[in-house]
Structure 1
Amino acid sequence: MSELVLRDVSRWYGNVVAVNGVSMTIGPGVTGLLGPNGAGKSTLIHMMGGFLAPSSGQVTVDGQRIWKNPSVYRQIGLVPERETAYDFLTGRQFVRAMAKLHRLPNPEAAAERALAMVEMVAPADRIIGNYSKGMKQRVKMASALVHDPPVLLLDEPFNGMDPRQRLHLMDLIRKMAAEGRTVLFSSHILEEVERLAHHIEVVIAGRHAASGDFRAIRRLMTDRPHMFVVRSSDDRRLAAALIADPSTRGVELTSGGLEVEAVDFRRFSLVLPQVARQADIRLWEVAPADESLESVFSYLVAS
């Protein structure tokens, strides 16, 4: 099991700072790297993959520095967002070339195994220039898997894939994580991250904004209003009681129950059962309405 560690990593281009003092640890399992366009996600992934030098700080895998250290490249598989395959080669030729660059003992067998993992055996003898965007993504994935690395860095790996291809890649990523690999992937589609990642790292404007399970991050944001859906035996009376308490800023009666905006989360969690008990109202459901990844990401970007 491998571990990627970034310590106070920065990267700048002239006067432009792309990444500023980022520290994070990426361990086994699936980690989602989130951030708006231009946040520095690709720059971070390229530094983790050894393709870009940090301007300051250090990136290591299992304690070994990555930059200018070819001995660790066998441990890392990288799928960059930009096209990196040679259009004049066939898919099979490209993946075999990657296997030979890694000096694998049987590059032909390794290439066939990697192509099979991404369901690209049938079109492997076609020219890459004639592939669809989704097929190019899959052949890049095969090239990253050909040397069986313990660490996978995937920059927007689902771009251009149809729904069936996307589901297959999700299953493959889950399988690799279950085998103990360290998988980091970036995506601008929050639903993909929510379905795959057990852990998220959020980067905004080149800085590290948050780390952890997105629901836990939301619960730590106590300075932000929390939205709850509440269902009870008497929603109208409960609404009247809650709106009078300073822990709430708004209560809306809907067909599905009450939508409550709590500005003091801790007080609200204590007041709600007390109010219901005093009014002899039975609580049937109390559920957070804003602990989705989308809502957490929106809060962080707006902060």
Structure 2
Amino acid sequence: MSTLVLDKASRWFGNVVAVNDVSLTIGPGVTGLLGPNGAGKTTLMAMMAGFLAPSSGHVTLDGRPVWRNTDTYRHVGLVPERELSFGYLTGRQFVRANADLHGLADPGAATERILAVVDMVEPAGRRLDTYSKGMRQRVKIAAALVHDPSVLLLDEPFNGVDPRQRMHLMDLLRRLGDEGRTVLFSSHILEEVERLARHIEVVVSGRHAASGDFGAIRRLMTDRPVQYAVRSSDDRALAAVLIAQPSVQAVSLGSDGLDVQVADLGSFAVGLPGWARDHDLSVYELSPSDESLESVFAYLVAR
């Protein structure tokens, strides 16, 4: 099990600051690195992989510096966003080349093993320039995994991948995380992150904006009203009761219940059972309706 740590890491290119004073820890399991395009995700990945030096601060893997430490390459696999430029190679040749570069004892066996893991044995004899986008992504992952690293970094791995191949890649990443590997993937597509990783790291404009379970992050946003979905025995009557409460900012009545905007969560949670009981009403459902990753992300980007 491996842990990546960024300690006040920054990276600038001339007068452009791509990453600004970022501190975060990435441990075993699957973590989503979330941010809009241009937020600095690719720069962070390159620093974590040891391909780019931090302009200030430190990046370490299990306490050892990543930059200019060739031993870390044995423990890290990187799947870059950029397209493969070796179209004249077959998938098998491309993966085998990476096995050879790592000096594996039996590169041929390692190549065949990892091609089977990513379900690419059958098309491995074809040239890369005949592959679909999803097949190229899978063979890049195979090349990154051929030396059996404990850390896998993937930069926008689902871009341009069709739904079936996306499901296959998600299953593979979940399995790798369950094995105890440290898997970090970047994305600007919220649905992908929400389906694959509960733990997220959010970067906005080169800065670290949030870290943790996105439901927990939402609950820490005390300066933003909480949205609840409520169903009861008489939604119209309950709406009249709720709108009179100081802790409730707004109530809207829909076909499937109430949407309630709450300013004081503690008072609302404590008071709701009593308000319903006093008016002979039964509450059937109470659930947060804005604890999705989309809601959390929209708030963090707008801050």
TM-score, normalised to structure 1, is 0.97
Question: Do 2:243 and 2:251's aligned partners in 1 also have CA atoms closer than 8 Å?
Answer: yes
1:111 maps to 2:108: no
- Residue 68 of structure 1 aligns to which amino acid in structure 2? R
Distance, in Å, in 1 between the alignment partners of 2:30 and 2:73 is: 20
- Taking only aligned residues, the RMSD between alpha carbons, in angstroms, comes to 1.1
Query: In structure 2, what is the equivalent of residue 300 of structure 1?
Result: 300
Q: Does 1:80 align with 2:80?
A: yes
Tell whether the 8 Å contact from 1:29 to 1:198 is kept in structure 2 after alignment: no
Look up the match of 1:148.
Answer: 148
Identity of aligned residues (%): 69
One-letter code aligned to 1:5: V
State the partner residue of 1:132: 132
The aligned counterpart of 2:227 is 227
Which structure 2 segments of 5+ residues have no match? none
User: Helix, strand or coil for the counterpart of 2:124?
Assistant: coil
Match for residue 287 of structure 2?
287
Q: Is 1:29 aligned with 2:29? A: yes
Q: Hey, which bits of structure 1, 4+ residues long, moved more than 4 A?
A: none
Cα distance in 2 for partners of 1:185, 1:179 equals 16
Which is worse superposed, 211-220 or 156-165? 156-165
Aligned residues: 303
Contact 1:150-1:181 within 8 A present in 2 as well: yes
How far did residue 274 of structure 1 move?
2.5
Partner SS for 1:195:
helix
2:40 maps to 1:40? yes
- 1-side partners of 2:154 and 2:207: how far apart? 20
* Contact preservation (8 Å) 1:87, 1:127: yes
CA-to-aligned-CA distance 1:94-133 (integer Å, 9 cap, x gap):
1100000000001111111111111111111211122222
Change (3 A) 1:85 1:181: farther
Task: After TM superposition, give the deviation of residue 159 of structure 1 in Å.
Answer: 1.7
Contact 1:137 1:160 in 2 (8 A): no
Aligned residue for 1:276, secondary structure, equals helix
1:7 deviates by 0.3
For 2:183 and 2:271, the matched residues in 1 are separated by: 42
State the alpha-carbon separation in 2 of the partners of residues 127 and 258 from structure 1. Answer: 57
- Equivalent residue for 1:94? 94
The alignment partner of 2:125 has SS state of coil
Whether 1:190 and 2:152 are equivalent positions in the alignment is no
Displacement of 1:66 in angstroms is: 0.4
Q: 1:89 is paired with a residue of what secondary structure?
A: coil
The answer as to whether partners of 1:104 and 1:147 remain within 8 angstroms in 2 is yes
Please report how far the alpha carbon of residue 236 of structure 1 lies from its aligned counterpart in structure 2 after TM superposition.
1.7
* CA distance in 1: counterparts of 2:31 and 2:74, whole angstroms: 20
C-alpha separation in 1, matches of 2:87 and 2:35: 30
The 3-state SS of whatever aligns with 2:36 is: coil
Secondary structure of 1:68's match? coil
Question: Is this contact kept in 1: 2:89–2:127, CA < 8 A?
Answer: yes
Structure 1: gaps of 5 or more residues: none
85-94 or 215-224: which moved more?
A: 85-94
Normalised by the length of structure 2, the TM-score is 0.97
